[in-house]
A and B are shown apart, each in its own frame.
Chain A
């Protein structure tokens, strides 16, 4: 029995240790979550070992011979035993609860010095706005290493969920409310941002990157990009607008290197316009500002939200799309 227990515990422990279970933590919070995870896993392995050892021992030793029609001993219960297996699991789960509550408190505590980033989710893209950087927006989340970051979420349409596996923390973005999430990245690098709440057709491809930078490099980037974003309003580049908007997460456009397949292929705009019997430039422009007036056959209706860009930006984007699609 003891041997079997050790064997089963050993097998379970081997499974736990041999596979790379959790991603390498890249935030203080993920490190603490890992601790709770392994704390619970150890308790679970012990219970699993006891139960499975008892089960296997019973199967081997209490098998009735084919001709044996007798009954087992009429044991109806054993109060002490029943108290033991009520009290010990209670203590174990309470210990898991206490550890969890402490870690939850630590993970939520931002301290006084933290940086805000406003995260907006919409079908099917993320955008990140920096109040510290003149409210400039970016399609990738760039953050400095070792600083407390408080993300505040807004959803434009349905529920999405923000997750960076290496950071551990996760938060649904819910239309109408603005939940927050606290993260302290502690490793420089590039990590995937994944939407984990089913949000419609493009759910699987609603992804971007979280880029953790050394502090100095981050400050330089923030200053440089915010200055560029506020000053280029006069000479807008269509390519830059295409990049700053979430177009690429649903649409393919060779010139921009995007491969989204939820919406129509933007390299085929001229032939789409022909099918719709509309002049190319007004067709492209209307498809951005009022996308559901006409939907290319073969693609789902009422998926794309209308985009209301300032006139110069819209014109630049339309010209960029027309030129790129003609090349393609």
Chain B
């Protein structure tokens, strides 16, 4: 911070040179391309040198070379070339840092979305567009899986490819869609809701975003390497993944690292922003529940994500360097992987759900025109989930062969965690009760979420009971449960959030008719796809199989057809988003008559959000309270039209 002020007289460095040098050496895609190759080359050279020096034969061994050159060094080169490290590099090298001229802040044309941009609103949109792209790829993979499963026997894919399809599907949906889509929505909304000009660390925010496409491209590209993609499921259980898989497994190990680093950085950023950058008067008990949700989620991310990083490092070491962390033949402990993995991946379930709870609280209060019922209990139940969330991981391991005494305590905590979740459901119902309900698309998705999440939550309670879990674990009942939680839960809230903030992000309204069509198609096709999976699972169909007993053929055909309809419903969403972004009706600053701060500025908001810092004077959901206001703003910005309309 101190360095910024010292050198206002220094012009931006590259302008001292000719246009060609600026073109090649200035931060951007050209530099990213050659630095990608350069760093890849350095990684290659170092690996070969080390192998030659150590006398390890063959010197040109594919696994370590691909890992160090393509999966570690080259992405760092790409990030450096794009300019994510420029400021810090200058600072670290003792160069005079450039005065912040805010040239990298805000979007004036579509090109600004392809740069290292430090504006939280631009980053939010970058996140959402990127994650939707990976959602589409992940969805396509799911369609391929369903095509194979439409009939018993194997029709389209060999088993290695099939196992790769569902593994990459799950990894993309979890690490490249649900988690970062929430990060994107929060990136856009949280600073605005707090009355802040931006996130606490805008450059770190930009870096967090750019780590994400690296992780996604890594996971998808594993299909194109010899012997195919990683094929051990998104859980990557050792020792199958750590010593019985082709090179693709390392793409998973590394992809998770990049996505995880992105998560941790964003979470730290949210924590610091929420703790230190609240507008005057914005006490913790006046924060919108979306902010509460992201505060609690960030706690989970910061504490838990290093565990999955550890699990993937160990697994990768076993694979590439032939260590034996999880190889019992050489003194390793196979179940150790699962304990470390689930110590992250169970909290990750809440990382994928709490931000959605936050979105629901916003949407339900606004479209019911009522204050959130039991605001404080809603916030406290989020904290309860964070604490309890760390004590339930082994309920994924009831049949794993772990210490048998561990099962009952883990069952008790698992059943208890249903209580704060139940409180939230009942409080939302009470918020809707007696309200003035407006059935806009975000609210439809919120109601869809409520009904579907109840089913997912109840099947979760059943899974918490050890004897039931023993019967159904690793069957399609599990597949049904996680899709009710992650699709009926998380994805419905992401859709609700995208429709809800679409006017604020783009300055245009989406088509309500198409939005409603999207909802109904999704709702019906979703239930037809995933509900029957409960049934075939309980009856005895295991998960992760390309081939199955003929008696499940009829249901599987029905599920596959429904899943194609579900896939088609996404096209309606895409069409609506794209056409509305280009030609939609111009949005007013507050189309939903909401009280939270983001709706008190223009749509889209000015580059620095607020011309004057708002003064918060009351709660965020005081609908129906005569004369209640959440915050006092100088009225001028609500009418200000910024330059970035018409992207």
Interface residues of A (CB under 8 A from B): 19-23, 30, 32-33, 36-37, 40-41, 43-44, 47-48, 51-52, 54-55, 58-59, 62-64, 68-78, 81-82, 85-86, 89-90, 93-94, 96-97, 99-101, 103-104, 107-108, 123, 153, 157-159, 161, 163, 165-166, 168-177, 179, 192, 194-205, 261-262, 300-302
Contacts and interface: CB of A to CB of B under 8 A. Distances in A.
A172 B542 contact: no
A64 B543 CA distance: 45
Interface in B386-432: 399-401, 404, 407-408, 411-412, 415-416, 418-419, 422-423, 425-427, 429-430, 432
A176 B399 contact: no
Contacts of A204: 159, 545-548
B622 A20 contact: no
A261 B466 CA distance: 36
B433 A58 contact: yes
Contacts of A108: 404
Contacts of A78: 373-374, 430
B539 A55 contact: no
In the A-B complex, list the 8 residue pairs whose CB atoms are closest, starting with the nearest: A176-B328, A165-B540, A71-B624, A179-B401, A204-B545, A196-B474, A74-B624, A64-B436
Contacts of B467: 32-33, 36-37, 100, 103-104, 107, 168
Contact of A201 (B160, B435, B447, B451): B160
B411 A51 contact: no
A177 B624 contact: no
B471 A170 contact: yes
Contact of A159 (B240, B329, B422, B625): B240
A85 B423 contact: yes
A40 B461 contact: yes
B434 interface: yes
B451 A82 contact: no
B454 interface: yes
Interface of B: 154, 159-160, 163, 227, 232-233, 237, 239-240, 244, 328-329, 332-335, 368-371, 373-377, 399-401, 404, 407-408, 411-412, 415-416, 418-419, 422-423, 425-427, 429-430, 432-439, 447, 450-451, 454-455, 458-459, 461-462, 464-468, 470-471, 473-475, 535, 538-540, 542-549, 593, 622-625, 628
Contacts of B462: 37, 40-41, 44
B427 to A, nearest CB: 8
Contacts of B419: 86, 89-90, 93
A93 B461 contact: yes
A153 to B, nearest CB: 8
Contacts of A44: 458-459, 461-462
Contact of B470 (A69, A71, A76, A169): A169
Nearest to B417: A93
B335 A177 contact: yes
Query: Which residue of B447, B465, B593, B625 has the most chain A CB atoms within 10 A of its CB atom?
Result: B465
A295 to B, nearest CB: 12
Contacts of B549: 192
7 contacts: A23-B540, A48-B454, A75-B371, A107-B467, A158-B239, A169-B470, A197-B237
A99 B547 CA distance: 36
B436 A70 contact: yes
A166 B549 CA distance: 15
A300 B332 CA distance: 26
Query: Which residue of A51, A90, A94 has the most chain B CB atoms within 10 A of its CB atom?
Result: A51
Given A100-B468, A198-B233, A51 B437 contact: no
A62 B434 contact: yes
A52 B539 contact: no
A168 B471 contact: yes
B626 to A, nearest CB: 8
Given A172-B399, A175-B329, A48 B244 contact: no
A301 to B, nearest CB: 8
Contacts of B227: 300-301
A159 B437 contact: no
A165 B436 contact: no
B534 to A, nearest CB: 8
Nearest to B378: A77
Query: Which residue of A70, A103, A200 has the most chain B CB atoms within 10 A of its CB atom?
Result: A200
A54 B373 CA distance: 15
B159 A58 contact: no
Given A54-B433, A169-B470, A47 B454 contact: yes
Contacts of A90: 416, 419
A159 B244 CA distance: 11
B434 A161 contact: no
A33 B470 contact: yes
B478 to A, nearest CB: 10
Nearest to B542: A196
A22 B240 contact: no
Contact of A72 (B369, B415, B543, B544): B369
